Chain A
Amino acid sequence: MKHETPSIYGVLAEFAGADELVAACKRVKAAGYDKVEAYSPMPVEEAGHALGHKSYLSALIFCGGATGAITGFGMQTWISVFDYPLNVGGRPFFSWPSFIVITFEMTVLFSALTAVIGMIALNGLPQPYHPLFNSAAFERATRNRFFLCIEAADPRFDLAEVKKVLQSTDPLLVEEVPQ
């Protein structure tokens, strides 16, 4: 079966190095494309900056940590003062300095869980299928190559125009990625 206009996910360009990728990101961004994503085998901070990526994950982790601190201290206070007051060596029921250690551990635990689960969830993982995995070249994205994809969902997406822009960034390869 042949479709007349096969729907595509986007157009993918491959680069040899991180610097080329960053340059391409800036260029594509300057050309006015918004639905753009860079892919690299290791973190390339400038690429994210060039594409204007921002994450509120740190704020989320802070909230997680604060929840942990309140939970830890609140739990110990409620149990030791109200629900199950126990005289231990004549100490006051609200002997808060001895609650600090567990409060600290709970803060760390909640922050760490928020950091990892938050990172995974905000990234939309686990995601077993992604259109980019249709590209054979994209296997190199976790090896030694750097990729830039302008997605078809971009309002300014025009196949010929997009290909021209990507070709102008000195790529090793430009290809369409099927949906």
Chain B
Amino acid sequence: MQPTNDAALQTSTAQPTHDLPVIAPGHTLASITDKITSIVLRRDTPLAWAAGLALASTGLFFLVISIAWLLAKGTGVWGINNEVGWGFAIINFVWWIGIGHAGTLISAILLLLNQQWRTSINRAAEAMTLFAVACAGMFPLLHVGRPWLAFWLFPIPNTMGVWPQFRSPLLWDVFAVSTYATVSALFWFTGLIPDLATLRDQAKNIWAKRIFGMLSLGWRGAAMHWERYEIAYLILAGLSTPLVVSVHTVVSFDFAVSIVPGWHATILPPYFVAGAIYSGFAMVLTLMIPLRSAFGFKDFITDRHLNNMAKVMLATGLIVAYGYVMEAFFAWYSAAPYELAMIHNRMFGAAWKSYWALILFNVAIPQLLWFRGVRLNPMWLFMISIVVNIGMWLERYVIVVTSLERDFMPSAWADYYPTKWDVMLYIGTIGFFFFAFFLFIRFLPSIAIFEMKSLVPRRDAGGAKGSAASSTKEGTHHS
């Protein structure tokens, strides 16, 4: 059997097909393989990719410089002070980890809910999770001041005879975030194994073959292997689902378990989780809209995907809006003077611009998503996703800073101003994030090949590209 005979064979087995709602009509197992692997295996590197990587590298450079300066001088180079001990570090930590949550939601929760449209976006979304968690993890690590002693956070037997304090949400966070990072990495790698084997078999270059061969662990798609694989994958999804909720709940406990006005509220866990998914979907859209244009993935990441992601954003955005309303309501209804002062300070105090900007960005502008025309317009969607990314950052800024600037005693009031090192470190993590993402889309399959193959109807699996198109209705636009 020569590969040249493939086309003839495929045509001969073509059959009428069903609706193809989440993948453009006419794709076969072979065309999916070729389309996705060609991006990784192409010999020439697109100039735009190199330019993007170079830009991201500049950010990475900022990261290295700002960390080096921080380690040399200590956390005094940041804008934090005695009263506002949680500045940019915690704001950025919460922002990044929230972004990561959409990846897990797409790969795990939507898998359990049998939402087929997740298939083409889950790989890139999981990669986004991994890199976002890496960015998030840097901040508390650096914030401890002496990161080389960060292992004290873990219960490691030591000659001092001391142990961590297990009743503190900050320690829960250590366990939650490190578990989340580990499970996200496992989930991502497990998903990659069969695709790495595909790359091994498709690669012509001997080194590519060897490297992908080693990474794929010798996967050969045996039925027994698939059986165990599916069990492991499904259980990982089942584990990740409560995990992702627990992680942001624990992050909110860092605030809610304290007695600081504006933090000590029972609404915080659900409101934080919804906010995390909200910002995460915004980031997925920020990444996917250029990605699908640049790589010609519009057959796989269809308008239906954009539409659905926009709907998830709208829904979670409304939950977040409810959270803002409830914060104000609780403050008023509690009649506690400190809570009232807190909400008044947020709305009309020194940071009033940030507060109303976040209301505009997170509540007002995303209402455009009610319109189908906006949801199906990549340009509008891209701009709204950027607006929500900024809005969610401002939300964390307002929560962290305004409450700490003005708590109980006027003698404990202070103002917070970030320094250039705060800003540089933040830009640095954005650079790192995009640097890693650029490497990912070039060297690994950014769409799950084997999962896409499961979307091709059985009868059509060997069908030729042209023959199925005519019988397929436009299934990509309704959901």
Contact = CB atoms under 8 A, between A and B. Distances in A.
A80 interface: yes
A16 interface: yes
B243 to A, nearest CB: 5
Nearest to A84: B163
A26 B144 CA distance: 62
Contacts of A57: 228, 231-232
Interface stretch (A2-10, A40-48, A154-162): A40-48
B458 A18 contact: yes
A143 B30 CA distance: 6
Interface string B143-171: 00000000000010000011101110101
Nearest to B230: A43
Chain B, interface size: which category? 35 or more
B218 A118 contact: no
Given A42-B450, A91-B167, A137 B1 contact: yes
Interface in A135-179: 137-144, 172-173
A133 B33 CA distance: 19
Nearest to A172: B1
Contacts, number: 210
Interface string B214-230: 10011111111111111
Contacts of A55: 224, 227-228, 231
Interface in B434-479: 450-451, 453-454, 458-459, 461-462
Interface stretch (B50-58, B130-138, B194-202, B279-287): B194-202
Contacts of A139: 201
Interface string A47-67: 110010111011001000000
A109 interface: yes
A75 B165 CA distance: 12
B190 interface: yes
Contact of B179 (A54, A108, A137): A108
Contact of B223 (A40, A83, A115): A40
Contacts of A39: 220-223
A53 B223 contact: yes
A25 to B, nearest CB: 8
Interface string B168-193: 01011001100100110011011000
Contact of A18 (B183, B228, B461): B461
B223 A79 contact: no
B291 interface: no
B236 interface: yes
Interface residues of A, number: 71
A143 B201 contact: yes
A102 interface: yes
A33 to B, nearest CB: 14
B246 interface: yes
A141 B220 contact: yes
A30 interface: no
A125 interface: yes
Interface string B8-45: 01100100000000000000111001000000000000
A113 B163 CA distance: 25
Contacts of A43: 226, 229-230, 450, 454
A61 B224 CA distance: 17
Given A102-B175, A122-B228, A16 B221 contact: no
Contact of B231 (A58, A75, A86, A144): A58
Contacts of A83: 163
A112 B187 CA distance: 8
B392 interface: no
A130 B222 CA distance: 12
A88 B246 contact: no
Given A79-B155, A101-B172, A16 B462 contact: yes
Contacts of A58: 231, 235
B249 to A, nearest CB: 9
A80 B166 contact: yes
Contacts of B343: none
A16 B167 contact: no
Nearest to B463: A17
B68 interface: no
A143 to B, nearest CB: 5
B100 interface: no
Most buried by A among B9, B187, B217, B250: B217
A47 B223 contact: yes
Contacts of B200: 142
B239 A125 contact: no
Interface in A1-33: 14, 16-19, 25
A39 B220 CA distance: 7
Given A37-B223, A48-B223, A91-B167, 16 more contacts: A16-B10, A18-B458, A19-B458, A19-B459, A38-B222, A43-B454, A48-B227, A80-B163, A105-B246, A108-B179, A108-B246, A123-B228, A142-B201, A142-B202, A144-B30, A172-B9
Top 5 nearest A-B pairs (CB, nearest first) are A144-B29, A126-B217, A119-B232, A127-B218, A38-B223
16 contacts: A37-B224, A42-B451, A45-B227, A53-B224, A55-B224, A57-B231, A84-B161, A101-B250, A105-B246, A119-B190, A123-B229, A126-B214, A140-B3, A142-B220, A143-B30, A143-B198
